[in-house]
Amino acid sequence: MDPDYLPFHPNPSKPKFKAPAGAVDAHCHVFGPADMFPYAPERKYTPCDAPKEKLFALRDYLGFSRNVIVQASCHGRNNDALVDALKSSHGLARGVAVVGADVTDEALAAMDAAGVRAVRFNFVKRLVDATPKEIFLGISERIAKLGWHIVVYFEAPDLEDLTPFLKQLPTTVVVDHMGRPDVTKGVDHPDFQRFLSLLSENENIWTKVSCPERLTVAGPPYDDVIAFGRTLVEHFPDRVLWGTDWPHPNMKSHVPDEGILVDVIPRIAVTAAAQQKLLIDNPMRLYWPEEQIS
Ligand code: 0GY
């Protein structure tokens, strides 16, 4: 583990908010354990081990039912830890993998069988070396045939440059962490308005109203981030997902308490109907469509 790396909270509080039965934590990770699943040589940080057992115990403790596990950059393009967690989940976890152009059809089929339903394209410069857009476009055509979608991670200043690329993607596209706005600028700032326009103009683009712990300047209970999530939930109730982001890689300011993170939910999705969409209907539609009743 890097010397300045903050490990996840050892004993988070119980949230006051009771998630509806069947709720999905749609953004979380597993890391290692390194002796079974070594971190990638090209990684930009070395996290603490955060194994699947801890993730599933946290899911139960917080009152959630399912997880969407996102491959993080510290495991590079080796999705073994992710796939192992999916296979141990009894169908209660789906995955978002990271692949290169050299991935074989057989490897994609095996990941699909394990529960992978998306690939992640990461544009955050401190996390990954840049990948040419043509590579991503080639991957996107291949995974579209499997019925998968694409999760993208970028920071707000990069949105303008990335917009033409995002518009070319042939699947549903989920933008991590509200496009990582600078919350000190407020929701009316042109940067966040540009993000709202992106979703208004492209019905295939969704977002995760997640990560107040990364976006905040004020700290917990994240009052300065509420308006961003709430605006997105109000404008795009059918295209938002929520996740804990456990185990919160690369946090420098504080160790997030997941109980406090869950208590953000009723402040951004203020009605039971909005909470049902955010925590159940939307993630089930994307990750477990075969279990959808309507
Ligand atoms: C996140 C956040 C981060 C890291 C990664 O792939 C990653 O390493 O996603 C981050 O440092 O912002 O999305 O959980």
Pocket, ligand 1, Cβ cutoff 6 A: 72-74, 122, 127, 153, 176, 214, 245, 249-250
Q: What is the DSSP-derived secondary structure letter of residue 14?
A: P
pLDDT at position 294, please?
Answer: 53
Convert the pLDDT of each residue in 65-122 to its tens digit. Answer: 999 999 999 999 999 999 999 999 999 999 999 999 999 999 999 999 999 999 999 9
Q: Per DSSP, what are the bridge partners of residue 118?
A: 96, 149
Give residue 64's domain range: 24-288
> 135-178: per-residue pLDDT in tens?
999 999 999 999 999 999 999 999 999 999 999 999 999 999 99
pLDDT of residue 4 exceeding 90, the answer is: no
CATH code where residue 73 lies:
3.20.20.140
């509420």: which residue's tokens?
A: 226
Is the CB of residue 251 less than 8 Å from the CB of residue 216?
no
Give a yes or no: residue 98 inside a domain: yes
In the numeric block, the tokens 């290169």 are attached to 100
Q: What is the atom index within ligand 1 of the atom nearest the CA of 176? A: 13
Residue 63 domain-assigned (yes or no): yes
Q: Which atom of ligand 1 is nearest to the CA of 29?
A: 14
The best mutation among 75, 127, 176 to test binding of ligand 1, ranked by most ligand atoms within 8 Å of the C-beta, falls on 127
Residue 130 lies in a domain: yes
pLDDT of residue 293: 60
User: What is the Å distance from ligand 1's center to 201 Cα?
Assistant: 27
Q: Provide φ and ψ at 193, rounded to 5°.
A: -65, -35
In a domain, 49, yes or no: yes
C-alpha to C-alpha distance for 45 and 48, rounded to whole angstroms: 10
| CB-based contacts of 164, cutoff 8 Å, min separation 6 | none
- Residues that are catalytic: 245
In a domain? residue 9: no
Residue 18 within a domain: no
Asked if residue 293 is part of any domain, the answer here is no
Q: What integer is the mean pLDDT of 7-23?
A: 97
* H or E segment and range at residue 9: none
Q: Given the structure tokens 């420098």, which residue do they identify?
A: 252
Number of domains in the chain: 1
| pLDDT one-digit tens code per residue, 244-292 | 999 999 999 999 999 999 999 999 999 999 999 999 999 999 999 999 7
Residue 72 CA to ligand 1 center (angstroms) comes to 6
Ligand 1: residue of 122, 214, 216 to mutate (most ligand atoms within 8 A of CB) is: 214
Asked whether residue 294 is assigned to any structural domain, the reply reads: no
Q: Count CB-CB contacts under 10 A for residue 46.
A: 16
